[in-house]
Amino acid sequence: MSLKKLTPMALVAAFAIVSLPAHAETATASAAPAAQSSTSGFDLSKIRQNMRASYQMWLYGMNTRAMSGNVDGSGTNLNITHYTTLGYKVSRKWSVSVTQPFNQVIDEKPASEVDPLVALDPYITFSNASITKSERYGTNLSGYVRYYAPFSRSTNRAADRGARTDAGNGALRLLVTPSKTFMDGALTVAATTLVHFRLPGNSSAERAAKSGSAIHENYYILLNPSVSYALSSKVEAYVEYASGYLRHSTDGKFSKFNDPVYGQYVSPGINWQASKRLALNPYMSVGPVFRGVKNTDIGLIGTYSFL
């Protein structure tokens, strides 16, 4: 399973492409470049070159027992998370982007209270693809800082009832990925660390009054080492291990590595650059708590870049 699924490191329903009106493009083309730079102070064509826009779809719920997710006779039970992203490359290393995710449930027998399509918290990401890099030693350090705005219905409902996962003031995520290449860059070893902080909307006293418990799950950590090998210029195979979400609470306790829901897993997969704009990531995931091959999950992430 790729980190893109955790952002998700991770990871995909409407999308709007930002473009200049036709008359504006005509006016720009007819103006002399020197006059444009001296009068306007910026180059519209350069701005468009630095813009990024993409749509990502993450399909999951399939497994080796049933591709439909129907493991208990309840019918199709699949999920698709859609991510629409608009970004801008502000410098050689730094980029900023805004993403609005939506979660879609595909179920033949849905529960009456389940919405088939819901908006999740939007987020803004400041990323750096190369904080520090050494061509000589084949090392690189990348990372990002991300803020989730508390706009979704689920986040506000959790804050209203004083839940342990209250993020009424949003959430902050930090991610760093040190990596090193071998074999002339074909083999890459990486070790991603992610920390996700929930910013509560309630004090401990308010939470206790609403839910009967003052305890708050204030952050979680994900450790995610991986090894990847470039089979060609367009295809990369990888395998990764993830610690699962090690959740920390204000009572000083961490969750277990073998948590039945959030526990560790091992995931092999393929990153395939199918075309200049389309990237596909099929994967398998064994876990949590390594329950055997018959419990292996299957997923697919597809990303289409418009700009």
pLDDT in tens, 44-67: 888 889 999 999 999 998 888 877
CA angle (53 as vertex; 305, 78 as ends), nearest 5:
65
Which pLDDT does position 146 carry in this prediction? 98
Name the residue among 292, 275, 181 with its Cα closest to residue 228: 181
Integer-rounded Cα Rg, in Å, for the chain is 22
CA distance 261 to 245: 9
Which CATH number is 139's domain given? 2.40.160.40
- Distance spanning both ends of the chain, measured CA to CA: 26
Report how far residue 117's alpha carbon sits from residue 103's, in angstroms, rounded to the nearest whole number.
6
Q: 17: exposed, middle or buried (C-beta count within 10 Å: 0-12, 13-18, 19+)?
A: exposed
The answer to whether position 172 is within a domain reads yes
Q: Is residue 17 situated within a structural domain?
A: no
Q: Judge residue 29's burial from the number of C-beta atoms within 10 Å of its C-beta, 0-12 exposed, 13-18 middle, 19 or more buried.
A: exposed
Q: What is d(CA 100, CA 117) in angstroms, rounded to the nearest whole number?
A: 13
Please report the pLDDT score of residue 229 as a whole number.
98
Percent of the chain with pLDDT over 90: 67
Residue 271, pLDDT score? 98
Confidence of residue 76 (pLDDT cuts 50, 70, 90): low
Tens of pLDDT along 20-41? 333 333 333 333 344 444 445 5
Residue 5, in any domain of the structure: no
Global confidence as pTM: 0.83
pLDDT band at 79 (very low <50, low <70, confident <90, very high): very high
Give how far the C-alpha of residue 225 lies from the chain's centroid of Cα atoms, to the nearest Å.
17
Q: Is residue 133 a part of any domain in this protein?
A: yes
> Could you tell me the pLDDT band of residue 294, with boundaries at 50, 70 and 90?
low
Q: Is 183 helix (H, G, I), strand (E, B) or coil?
A: helix
Q: Tell me, what's the pLDDT at 148?
A: 98
Into how many domains does the chain fold? 1
Cα distances (angstroms) measured from residue 153 to each of 56, 117, 119, 158, 300: 22, 12, 8, 9, 27
Say how far apart CA 202 and CA 248 lie, in whole Å. Answer: 17
Q: What pLDDT was estimated at residue 113?
A: 67
* Lowest-confidence region among 3-17, 173-187, 204-218: 3-17
Give me the mean pLDDT over the 203-228 stretch: 96
Does 181 fall in a domain? yes
Task: Give the pLDDT score at 31.
Answer: 37
Whether residue 144 lies inside any domain: the answer is yes
pLDDT at site 65: 80
Decide: 286 and 266 in contact? Cβ < 8 Å: yes
Q: Is there a contact between 277 and 305 (Cβ–Cβ < 8 Å)? A: yes
Instruction: Collapse the DSSP code of 187 into the 3-class scheme (helix H, G, I; strand E, B; otherwise coil) and give the result.
Output: strand
Q: Is residue 7 in a domain?
A: no
User: Nearest CA to 18 among 66, 50, 53?
Assistant: 53
Q: Is 9 part of any domain?
A: no
Q: Structural domain of residue 276, as residue ranges?
A: 22-305
pLDDT grade, residue 293 (50/70/90)? low
| Count of CA atoms in the C-beta half-sphere (13 A) of 99 | 26
